[in-house]
Amino acid sequence: MSKTVASKENAGLIRRYSHYINGENITSTSGRLIERINPATGKLIGTLQDGTAEDVDLAVSAAVEAFEDGRWSGLTAAQRSDVLRNVSRRLKEDWQDLALYESLETGKPLAQASGEAQWAGDIWDYAAGQARSLHGETYTNVGEDKLGLVLKHPVGPVGLITPWNYPIVVLSQKLPFALAAGCTVVAKPSELTSGSTLAIAKFLEEAGLPKGAFNVVTGYGDPVGKRIAEHPHIRMISFTGSTVTGQSIARAATGNMKKVVLELGGKNPTVVFSDANLEAAVDGAIKGFVYNSGAECCSGSRVFVQRESIAAFTELLCKRLEAVKVGDPMDPLTTMGAIINEAQFAKINRYIAEGKKSGDLAFGGNVITDLPGLFVQPTVFTNVSPTAPIAREEVFGPVLVVIPFDDLSDAISLANDTEYGLAAGVWTSNLETALTMARKVRAGIVWVNTFLDMPSEVPFGGTRQSGYGRENGRQAIEEFTVTKSVVVQNPSTYERYLG
């Protein structure tokens, strides 16, 4: 029996999770549990600890001790790299059960969860290399009797707060880089998707990570996330989630001036010029708002199409969307799965209702009632004003607006007419147009003739209300370091300041 088949047969098992603190499974001081319901079936799939501030304090104490005694930070880069690469190997080769549980927790298709687990393995592999690439600088031009040194130290114990939409990948865009730098970690996954983070804790333990170097406290943002953000011994927070929550975390972190990296929301433009490969642009647009049921901070939820091509684009878009299968995440033919929970399901449907008032419904727009879980159709609106809420606010669901533009200047203006600045897509066969858009659109990442393309080597992050700091690429490990300068004077050439 294959691992994949065996995992599917165990899909009905209820998993019971504890905190992971100092290498041990710990129950919460609250004595309470959180139940996780599979959004695709409505069935109970697991329970986890309802964490408290006291649980966070215990985890932080373990992380501080593990950092201060050097059991992790004191290892060589090669030793840390070996541990991370062992996890990478595990993610690439033994991903089936991890992907299954991500699918059960999120409602996303198993095929997508499987790809994400292996994608995470590539990120860990890259981070393992970064552990050995991190280095300082020397300055020999400050005088014959002096030497300038620039050192890179791990920032200390860090807090990682991750969302529900990509629980494996988002953790992997933070955790291996923090560990590569020599930091110790306290993580708080979403209360909706904690299983994969706790599984990776076990991967790290088996890979040789010392006790206390990685700790997981499950529960709600208040009190768990709030306490991590405020804790005086946590020296850095890396958070992915909504802009409103990110603002709260940034304010909480000012109490002890800890470093903060925020990857927040987006209302991202996809701009299609009339000289683009129309079929490729349509496929990119579908991927940009259907993948992960639209629960994607980089979702291309605003599509601007040059006016002379908008009719053909919209017709082809709606025709291709007919092939999108919404349904059972375990079905390999499923393209789009369930919505994560009732609250998000209601939010998406409120925006669909608003869209029906402010524009023309071109495709979808309905709840799927013949399935047991939380399912909606991919939904497209046309003839929508760029100022309408459906065109300005982050839906975090499979809802798209298609809006015309006239020329290059108009495209730049419309693309930048947002408080966010995370991602953008450009579709054109004209190199000058592509380069102009890449320079002028205010976003942390711009894709040209592709979308949601995330090589591990390329840094990722936003501007404005989409946050600050970078994940992936060589910049990611730098975020988890502090820079120290050292100036060394030759003692034989020392001159007294006085006398």
Q: Let me know how many helices (H) and strands (E) the chain has, helices first.
A: 17, 21
The closest alpha carbon to 288, from 211, 402, 417, belongs to 402
**273 neighbors 433 (Cβ within 8 angstroms):** yes
179 and 213 Cβ atoms separated by less than 8 Å? yes
HSE-up of residue 297 (Cα within 13 Å, Cβ side):
29
Q: Are strands 379-382 and 269-272 parallel, antiparallel or unpaired?
A: unpaired
Choosing from 230, 297, 471, 479, the catalytic residue is 297
Strand 158-161 to strand 185-188: parallel, antiparallel, or no bridges (unpaired)? parallel
Distance (Å, whole) CA 396 – CA 93: 31
Q: Report how far residue 456's alpha carbon sits from residue 471's, in angstroms, rounded to the nearest whole number.
A: 9
Q: In what order do the strands lie in the sheet with 481-489?
A: 137-139, 146-154, 481-489
Spatial distance between the Cα atoms of 321 and 361, rounded to a whole number of angstroms: 14
List, in order, residues 6 or more apart from 370 with CB less than 8 Å away.
none
- In the DSSP assignment, the letter for residue 398 is S
Contact yes or no for 477/261 (Cβ under 8 A)? no
CA distance 453 to 470: 16
Count of CB atoms within 10 A of residue 380's CB?
A: 26
**From the centroid of its chain, how far is CA 355?**
27
Cα–Cα nearest to 273, from 432, 446, 441, 428: 428
Among the listed residues 105, 191, 263, 296, the single catalytic one is: 263
How much of the chain is in helix, strand and coil states, percent to nearest 5? 40, 20, 40
Q: Could you tell me the end-to-end alpha-carbon distance of the chain, in angstroms, rounded to an integer?
A: 86
- The Cα 462–Cα 467 span in angstroms is 5
Burial of 89 (0-12, 13-18, 19+ CB in 10 A): middle
Torsion sign over Cα 415, 418, 421, 423: negative
CA distance 132 to 147: 24
Q: Tokens 């998707």 label which residue?
A: 193
Does the active-site annotation cover 298? no
Element (H, E) at 203: helix 195-207
Decide if 263 is catalytic. yes
Q: Where are the beta strands (DSSP E) in 38-136?
A: 44-49
The catalytic site residues sit at 263, 297
